[in-house]
Amino acid sequence: MPKQIARKHLLEKSRLNEAALESSLANLMSQKGVDYGDLYFQESRFESWSLEDEIVKSGHFGIKKGVGVRAVSGEKTGFAYSDEISQDAINASIKTVKAISRQGQQQKTKVFVAGSLPLHLYDYIDPVDSLSAAEKIRLLENVDAEARRLDARVSQVMVGLAGVRDVVLVAASDGTLAYDVRPLVRLSVSVIVEVNDRREQGSAGGGARVGYGYFLENERGLEYAREAVRQAIVKLDAVDAPAGSMPVVLGPGWPGVLLHEAIGHGLEGDFNRKGSSAFSGRIGEKVASSDCTVVDDGTLANRRGSLNIDDEGTPTQNTVLIENGILKGYMQDKLNARLMGVESTGNARRESYSHLPMPRMTNTYMLAGKYAPEEIIKSVEKGLYAVNFGGGQVDITSGKFVFSASEAYLIENGKITRPVRGATLIGNGPEVLTKVSMVGNDMKLDDGVGTCGKEGQSIPVGVGQPTLRVDELTVGGTSA
């Protein structure tokens, strides 16, 4: 159970217990004007292995452990941390962060309350120990061999395997005492194919909150190799991408990065509390076509973006962001929820104990619609069909967002014709979903490799969507 594992790794070794946490919080809250405080304990045990030139060249292992202490007073936050878990270190941090507040009411610490039955979205395992070193190496070698076997034009294969187990404990002045044990694994494959002097790259991969055995089931690891090779080979025949505004059909799954960039970030509570988002003050307004319903759901079993509790100890939930085109709500952590007079939606996340939490996404996706994907493609006379993407970025204030297609095709007279070179797509967040005219019935989540960056903090997330038709999006090719 997470409670036992967390107590063992984070408290017992340092001769700490719940009573000590309670008195530490009482100490923190004794400062006038501090109205919330929390302690975040974390131990991260991580490893990675990498293969290139047909051999496993390197392996890496590390442990990162520490405790972060936060004091909140109105809109002010004081934060300090230590990579040593001990009462002395906690006391020193408390003394430092208390200074954030000098005046105001003294608030009481609530006694820890047992929360509702916690979610149990993944097994409390340590993936690092889920296969032997020899088995991990064999897995990497098999993935490499599969990629090379498929096509003689494959000239380089790189395979990476990574696993981490995070053990966390959150104790807060509002009575929260929560534990979690979070496994996460990832396998990625990148290949270079070469014909004469033309080279192209393809990459694929996947991951989840499971053990490494996941990559052996249904030849999943080998499937990633096949997918990477397929993508690279397709690109060998790619012609210049078109430039300009045109209808774009987005494939299912990972292209959901559109939602993450175009609307997800803009609906995070901090930006809306501050009024800096293009979506600020727009709850209840129509921001998408009626066919669009978008949620952020941290409660999907084993998904990369899922969590039993967020990093403030609040259980994650399925939050409706847009329902039938109407903006319904923002994603909140405790600080921003309190300042906006709403409840936390379980979206507080932090990269580690040495970073402050803020409202972040979990798994963000659009629900399925009624159209068959073939119908959607057939509806386009001249446009782009984009099925694979690299990353994206958004300016939440102006609403402008981009995402980069790595595999895309021309649609001509309702038919997919030729592959085109990679191109960036750019649009305006509050507008783009109003231009979605067809939503497919093929909702799919991504394969579990997404990482989101915000204010220098990286966290694992998921995205998903069905096939979509966007009537107008700017495609950044070279063929004007």
Partner 1 sequence: MTKNTKNKFLTSNAELIHCVELANKLAKKNGASSAEARLSVDTGISVSVRNGSIETMEYHQDKGMGITVYVGQSKGSATTSDLTDKAIKETVKVATDIARFTADDECAGIAENSDLAWEYPDLDLYHPWKISAEEATDLALECENSALKFDKRIINSEGASVSNHESFHVYGNSHGFLGSYPSSSQSLSCSVIAKSKDVMQRDYWYTATRDPAMMEAAKSVGKKAAKRTIERLDSQKIPTGKSAVIFSPEMASGLISHFINAIRGGNLYRKSSFLLNTLGEKVFPEWMHIHEQPHIIGSIGSAPYDNEGVKTRSHNIVKDGILESYVLDSYSAKKLDMKTTGNAGGVHNLIVEPGSSSFKKLLKNMDKGLVVTELMGQGVNIVTGDYSRGAAGFWVENGKIQYPVAEITIASNLKDMYRRIVEVGNDVDKRRNTRTPSILIEEMTIAGD
Q: Is 281 near partner 1 (CB under 8 A)? A: no
Q: Hey, which bits of 83-153 come out as E strands?
A: none
Q: Is 411 near partner 1 (CB under 8 A)? A: no
Contacts (CB under 8 A) with partner 1, residues 184-213: 192, 194, 199-201
Q: How far is the CB of 389 from partner 1 (least distance, A)?
A: 10
Single-letter amino acid code for the residue at 142: N
Contacts (CB under 8 A) with partner 1, residues 282-341: none
Q: Is 96 near partner 1 (CB under 8 A)? A: yes
CB burial readout 60-97, b (16+ within 10 A) else e: eeeeebbbbbbbbbeeeebbbbbeebeeebbeebbeeb
The answer to whether residues 433 and 262 touch, using CB atoms and an 8 Å cutoff, is yes
In 3-state terms, what secondary structure has residue 457? strand
User: What is the rounded CA–CA span in Å between residue 184 and residue 178?
Assistant: 19
Residues binding partner 1: number (CB under 8 A): 80
Q: How far is the CB of 192 from partner 1 (least distance, A)?
A: 6
Nearest alpha-carbon partner for 329 in 272, 260, 290: 272
User: Nearer to partner 1 by C-beta: 217 or 455?
Assistant: 455
- Applying CB under 8 A, the span of 29-37, 177-185, 275-283, 444-452 interacting with partner 1 comes to 275-283
Question: Which residue of 216, 390, 416, 434 would you call a contact of partner 1, by CB under 8 A?
Answer: 390
Contacts (CB under 8 A) with partner 1, residues 214-243: 241, 243
- Applying CB under 8 A, the span of 15-23, 220-228, 380-388, 393-401 interacting with partner 1 comes to 393-401
- Applying CB under 8 A, the span of 2-10, 323-331, 400-408, 459-467 interacting with partner 1 comes to 400-408
Cα Rg, the chain, nearest whole Å? 24
Q: Is 404 near partner 1 (CB under 8 A)? A: yes
In 3-state terms, what secondary structure has residue 410? strand
Q: Which residue has the tokens 């995205």?
A: 463
The answer to whether residues 39 and 20 touch, using CB atoms and an 8 Å cutoff, is no
User: What is the rounded CA–CA span in Å between residue 50 and residue 424?
Assistant: 30
Q: Is 86 near partner 1 (CB under 8 A)? A: no
Binding mask 57-76 for partner 1 (x = CB under 8 A): xxxxxxxxxx--------xx
Contacts (CB under 8 A) with partner 1, residues 124-153: 133-134, 137
- Applying CB under 8 A, the span of 77-85, 114-122, 170-178, 214-222 interacting with partner 1 comes to 77-85
- CA–centroid distance for 208 within its chain: 11
Question: Which residue of 97, 177, 367, 384 would you call a contact of partner 1, by CB under 8 A?
Answer: 97
